[in-house]
Amino acid sequence: MRICVTGGAGFIGSAFVHMLLDTAGGGAGAGAGDPGAELGEGLELVVLDALTYAGNMENLADYRDDGRMSFIHGSICDTAAVARAFEACDAVVNFAAESHVDRSLEDAGAFIATNVEGTRILLDAAVEHGLRFVQVSTDEVYGSLGDDGLFYEDSPLRPSSPYAASKAAADLLVGSYVATHGLDAVITRCGNNYGPRQFPEKLIPLFITNALEDKALPLYGDGLNVRDWIHVDDHCRAIATVLLRGTTGRVYNVSATQEVSNREVCRSLLELLDKPWDLVRFVSDRPGHDRRYALSAERLRSELSWQPRISFAEGLAATVDWYRSNRGWWERVRSGDYRCFYERLYGRRLSDAGDSGENP
């Protein structure tokens, strides 16, 4: 099988490449029931990535000389690059996106261009080339939950941020191509991922890397927002399972049923890192900050027999170890004019935040 992986140099896309190539045809990393093993020895991957700030060739360095992977530097908004990447492919898994909520508050333009128009260009090309299409989407399309309840695949789409709205728009486009063009497409909607090689602007890698440097940790609002956390490898196994066995036109929620508040995440990280709580700064809340996400993944579990393998405690400890052991990776991506969102938005140093009366 030849698969085009768009956004394969980013966090989840590169984990997907690692998982498939490490387990293909029962390779060294393969375990019973691994989708990579099922995809077999003829597996070939074509990565199409624009290498934005979030794309990093270091993430694919293990396969530089591996004939099973080829790389095309190009955008999903470029029809010629997409046509080249789709040549002789059987399927495409679309990870390419602008993915950070805070950035979408500063400038939504790139989100609409890549997440909506880019997906439209991929869909047209998939129809033309007869490819199976997997759209990697997010629970954020459903909006925010109160203290109770879960999101199901037929819950209404009520996105709060421009990022979530652009992903919801893409999901609706995918559904429309199934209905009108008969495209063989499926959609996955997953909760918050964590794991190695995540860009240190998202909560967990930002807090790990800041704490390792004894820098402040900016916790938005009261820190009691809840996310449905999943290790990136469990997410990737779910995507591969849906690619292999998902029913055309269906949406599959992906969740390991691990709801944790931001305060709890922060406390666990500080414990693992043996750092004090007084690194935490309670700062102004994110505008439109969704309170809680929680998903039912019953469809994926019962119809496709997927289940998560990695507990939050185990996965978080392994993730902390990865950032400890790969300091060069995150120091390089944080170099230059890198500033966290809080500092960019408010134009002041995070180290001064506690002096401005924002700590409750």
# binding residues, ligand TYD (CB under 6 A):
12
Place of tokens 């449905």: 228
Q: How far is the CB of 171 from ligand TYD (least distance, A)?
A: 16
Residue 85, Cα to own-chain centre: how many angstroms? Answer: 22
Q: How far is the CB of 26 from ligand NAD (least distance, A)?
A: 27
Q: What are phi and psi of 186, to 5 degrees?
A: -135, 155
Say how far apart CA 238 and CA 233 lie, in whole Å.
9
Is residue 256 near ligand NAD by the rule CB under 6 A?
Answer: no
Residue 142 known to be catalytic? no
Q: How far is the CB of 335 from ligand NAD (least distance, A)?
A: 17
Place of tokens 């508050």: 105
Residue 3 or residue 353: which is nearer to ligand NAD going by CB? Answer: 3
What single string gives the DSSP state of each residue in 230-254?
EEHHHHHHHHHHHHHHPPTT-EEEE
Say how far apart CA 209 and CA 350 lie, in whole Å.
14
Q: What is the DSSP letter of 286?
A: P
Is residue 54 near ligand NAD by the rule CB under 6 A?
Answer: yes
Q: Are 69 and 114 in contact (CB under 8 A)?
A: no
Q: How far is the CB of 357 from ligand NAD (least distance, A)?
A: 32
Q: Are 204 and 268 in contact (CB under 8 A)?
A: no
Which residues does residue 71 pair with via DSSP β-bridges, in sequence order?
A: 47
Dihedral sign, CA of 327, 328, 331, 334?
negative
Q: What is the DSSP letter of 55?
A: -
Q: What is the DSSP letter of 10?
A: S
Is residue 101 near ligand TYD by the rule CB under 6 A?
Answer: yes
Is residue 96 near ligand NAD by the rule CB under 6 A?
Answer: yes
Is residue 202 near ligand TYD by the rule CB under 6 A?
Answer: yes
Q: In the numeric block, which tokens belong to residue 284? A: 């102004």
Task: Reduce the DSSP state of residue 133 to 3 states and report it.
Answer: strand
Q: How far is the CB of 206 from ligand TYD (least distance, A)?
A: 5
Among 14, 119, 155, 192, binds ligand TYD (CB under 6 A): 192
Residue 177 or residue 199: which is nearer to ligand TYD going by CB? Answer: 199
Binding part of the chain for ligand TYD, among 73-81, 124-132, 217-225, 251-259 by CB under 6 A, reads 217-225
**Torsional class of 51: left (φ above 0), alpha (ψ -120 to 50), beta (otherwise):** left
Is residue 334 near ligand TYD by the rule CB under 6 A?
Answer: no
Picking from 96, 87, 47, the residue whose alpha carbon sits closest to that of residue 68 is 47
- Binding to ligand TYD by CB under 6 A, coded x per residue (else -) over 131-160, reads ------------------------------
Binding part of the chain for ligand NAD, among 27-35, 52-60, 269-277, 317-325 by CB under 6 A, reads 52-60
Among 50, 203, 208, 211, binds ligand TYD (CB under 6 A): 203
Residue 139 known to be catalytic? yes
Is residue 253 near ligand TYD by the rule CB under 6 A?
Answer: no
Q: Which of 34, 139, 233, 290 is catalytic?
A: 139
Residue 154 known to be catalytic? no
Q: Which of 63, 142, 163, 293 is catalytic?
A: 163
- Binding to ligand TYD by CB under 6 A, coded x per residue (else -) over 57-96, reads ----------------------------------------
Among 4, 39, 76, 145, binds ligand NAD (CB under 6 A): 76
Of ligand NAD, ligand TYD, none, which one sits near residue 5, judging by CB under 5 to 8 A according to partner kind? none
Q: Which residues of 40-51 are buried (b: 16+ CB within 10 A; e: fewer)?
A: eeebbbbbbbbe
Q: Are 327 and 268 in contact (CB under 8 A)?
A: no
Residue 279 or residue 300: which is nearer to ligand NAD going by CB? Answer: 300
Is residue 218 near ligand TYD by the rule CB under 6 A?
Answer: yes
Residue 53 CA: distances (Å) to CA of 70, 78, 105, 322, 342: 21, 18, 17, 21, 18
Place of tokens 């944790």: 260
Q: Which residues bind ligand TYD (CB under 6 A)?
A: 101, 192, 202-203, 206, 218-220, 225, 227, 262, 286
Q: Which residues are catalytic?
A: 139-140, 163
